[in-house]
A and B are shown apart, each in its own frame.
Chain A
Amino acid sequence: MLFNLLSHIRLGTGDLAKYPFLNEASEYIRLINLDYEEFDRPEMKYIIERSAHRLEREITQGKPNETLERYEIEVLTFLVSLMMVKCIGIDSISKRHSLFEALRAEKFLTEDLKRERNEGRRQLLISKIFVDLFKVRVEINDEYYRSFKVKVKDYLSRGSKFHEQEWKLINRSVHNGYVYLRADETVRLIRNELSALIYNRLKAMDLSAMPKSVKLKLIAMAPKFAQNYDSPHIQTISHYPPCVKHAIDEMSKGENLPHSARVLLATYMLSIGKNINDIVELFHSAPDFNEGVTRYQIEHLAGKKGSGTRYFVPSCEKLTNESLCFATRECDGIVNPVQFGHRSRNKVD
């Protein structure tokens, strides 16, 4: 009912800048009749430079771009970045870019839900993003207007895929069919779907020709990508247990592995004596790869940083609980993936 009443409230241009994946932003592109030749005009140089910088930052530093300019610039930067990623044609870059665009929007949306004083606009954002795009009915908590509630079924179908204990339903406030969430948690709930939405847009993009200026920029950037993506392909070695193999395969495909799967991969590699540099290399294809952070975290797991505790490989039981176990018959009788490694190696010897 309320959502129908909102139809007369229009989104502001500032919203298009923050959320350029909205249908209204596509409508804007259609209205300005942008064709390929337009991209070669000098005014577009800034947009192309900006898009290239955004991609470079994502690929080399593993950081999303959170700057915000006028909506004309933001919508076009979003579009040109997508064109560039499509043109590069590397799936892991597409996934990484989709995730970073989602993270960028997540930051703005959290702020908007938290700070926006115009109730109508807040409702409209919820309606445009949560309801229209992802069919999640988010309601404002009547008792505390800065928090939100979603239906248990909507929460479970998303939150149960997160591996952190705090996302388990039992650690949430649940009442009368609703799960109560803070603004950042509400937005986090749709991060993966938003990333998938952008990724699917990328997949569906039809690039028959490429503007010359964009092409030239890409050629100039090519060596930087090659540095990051021409590294030797990670080999899945047959004596790795299936859970580790699965994590490596997913990682090399550029999938955004959950934290627990990354812990498994790193602790397993440490346990079989791989050096930290090699392990850091393994995480190279992660969409949010940041060498400094990855190195610190691996060193932390190895007991060289932080509390000095060395973390051991999680048990098979724990992995099963976290849906990371892909047991085969060879796993019979083992309680920790490390045993699989030993057994297989012994067999080979």
Chain B
Amino acid sequence: MIDFDNLKEASHQQVTDGNRRIASGSRIISDATKSQTYQIFRRAFREYYFKYGKNIESPTEIKRREFAFRYLGPKGEPAGMVRHLAFGSVGEILATALREVPSDLYCSNGYYRFPTYPMQEKDWLGADLIFDIDTKDLNLPCKIDHSYFICESCSQVTKNRQGLDRCHSCNSQNLALESIPCKTCLDGAKKEVRKLLLILTEDFGVAEKDIRIYFSGNDGFHLYVTDPNLHYLDAQARSDMTGYILGKGLLPETIGVYRKIRTNEGQKRANNDPEGDPYNYSARYTDDPHIAHSKYKERENSQNNFLVRFPRSGLKYGWRKRLYQQLGVKDPFGSKLKNIVQEKGGYYSFKIELDKLGKELGVNIDPQVTMDIHRVFRMPGTLNSKSGLTKIKCTDLDSFNPLYDACLLSDAETKVKIKTPVKLTLKGQTFKIDETITSLPAYAAIYLVCKNLAIMI
């Protein structure tokens, strides 16, 4: 039996870059301040890295990456983050993980000439294109059934109820929302992943071999696009790309619905008819408020005038195709599209409808994550201190069960005191816990403690 807590510290060679120390110094907390939770976490995490260290994936161009660690605080909570670290190999990272047992290990999406320098001096060379899909952004109806408000002042846990704005116990407004994702949530996230895969492959032409899907280790998925052609896109270009994926900013003109600028009055004027008044001079210069109002109304109505024309760059691909399919329109020459726009109330009303359609057909990604070219992401194969689950590669999305496949901590019996009755399924086992003090396998106990729904005793 290995005593993981007293495991001889792995030999760790400091990596140096000139006079700069890169990864150094133990962040182990002194014995006096160690809590029970801290010790259990540390033992379990170290055991994981000892057993599954080979799971840690080496990022491409490892020497150009910035690494970051987060450490366990004295009570076992994740504490401050240490950034701007550099490593030469995944072996060095594992050695540090075993020696220092960080709660989280991160690696930058960016490649830098000087990864350990302050951000402005790093000299950015490119960044992986990464998408984040989170169950909490899906706002599924089941969310309310498995989320909890935790008071950050008195730790009181309240089952999620709409409209809760303060703690029932201490009246504090400092409430954190925690959720235990259920199968429906995770299936919802998988559905979004499939939608994203389709856009990436069909529209952006990314080869399937260049896309890696990871379970984030808590409640979502990360998609990495490894196609080096896309690594040099700046934040603005990535923002445009996220807009495309989210379905944001669609113009009716894109599918052939144009605003008819010239009104009938304008037409009259264009035909040298003196009665025509395209600029509504009479409305603006009249003294009669009734006439002015009716002219104003007329002008407002004219804003909704439209005409349907075939867009010159076609309708066969991408969003144009998706929208036509969704609207059930086969070709723009028929009257169906015209009727739909008419029914919706004209150009502007159709534009609002198009925004809704875009949201429905788009993929629910977190745009900030993709746009950020200097972000650090949890390393694949490492533990997530928000759940104790592993960020793990997902090779077959259909059969992948995050709550089983990513649950790799030990099942040593661990005693916890729960803050609220809770039900969860992990590693194929369903736990319905009503008693305050209970013994659970380490993976389930750590999961609940990470979620702030229990404490170690």
Contacts and interface: CB of A to CB of B under 8 A. Distances in A.
Interface of A: 143-144, 147, 151-153, 156-157, 159-161, 165-166, 168-178, 180-182, 305-308, 323
B243 A170 contact: yes
A307 B230 CA distance: 44
Contacts of A161: 236
A157 B234 contact: yes
Given A153-B232, A175-B318, A168 B240 contact: yes
A170 B319 contact: yes
Interface string B338-379: 000000000000000000001000000000000000000000
Given A156-B241, A170-B248, A182-B312, 9 more contacts: A153-B233, A156-B233, A157-B233, A160-B240, A174-B317, A175-B202, A175-B203, A175-B317, A307-B299
Contacts of B248: 170
B19 interface: no
Interface string B4-33: 000000000000000000000000000000
Interface string B226-254: 00011011101111110110011111011
B416 to A, nearest CB: 43
A22 B412 CA distance: 74
Contacts of B315: 173
Contact of A170 (B236, B238, B247, B279): B247
Contacts of A172: 254, 313, 318
Interface in B196-250: 202-206, 229-230, 232-234, 236-241, 243-244, 247-250
Contacts of B249: 165, 168, 170-171
B354 to A, nearest CB: 11
Residue among B204, B233, B236, B358 having the largest count of chain A Cβ atoms under 10 Å: B204
B77 to A, nearest CB: 30
Interface residues of B, number: 41
A153 B204 CA distance: 9
A169 B312 contact: no
B276 to A, nearest CB: 15
Interface string B84-117: 0000000000000000000000000000000000
A171 B253 CA distance: 8
B121 to A, nearest CB: 22
Contact of A152 (B205, B232, B299, B312): B205
Contacts of A153: 229-230, 232-233, 237
B280 interface: yes
A152 B313 contact: no
Contacts of A168: 240, 243-244, 249
B283 A174 contact: no
Interface of B: 202-206, 229-230, 232-234, 236-241, 243-244, 247-251, 253-254, 279-280, 283-284, 299, 311-320, 358
Q: Which 3 A-B pairs have the closest CB atoms?
A: A177-B205, A175-B317, A156-B237
A180 B313 contact: yes
Given A147-B313, A166-B253, A170-B254, A308 B205 contact: no
A306 B318 CA distance: 36
Nearest to B311: A173
Nearest to A180: B313
Nearest to B283: A308
18 contacts: A144-B314, A147-B313, A153-B237, A156-B240, A156-B241, A157-B232, A157-B237, A168-B243, A169-B241, A170-B243, A170-B249, A171-B249, A171-B253, A173-B314, A174-B317, A182-B313, A308-B280, A308-B284
Contacts of B253: 166, 171
Contacts of A157: 232-234, 237
A175 B320 CA distance: 11
Contact of B250 (A171, A174, A175, A177): A171
Contact of A174 (B204, B234, B237, B279): B204
A169 B240 contact: yes
B236 A174 contact: no
Contact of A176 (B202, B250, B254, B314): B202
Given A153-B229, A173-B313, A174-B203, A323 B236 contact: yes
A37 B319 CA distance: 61
B314 A171 contact: no
Nearest to B254: A171
Contacts of B280: 307-308
A181 B248 CA distance: 20
A323 B311 CA distance: 28
B251 A177 contact: no
A178 to B, nearest CB: 7
B201 to A, nearest CB: 9
Given A156-B241, A168-B243, A176-B202, A307 B317 contact: no
Contacts of A160: 236-237, 239-240
A25 B254 CA distance: 40
Nearest to A154: B229
A170 B283 contact: no
B306 to A, nearest CB: 16
Contacts of B316: 173, 175
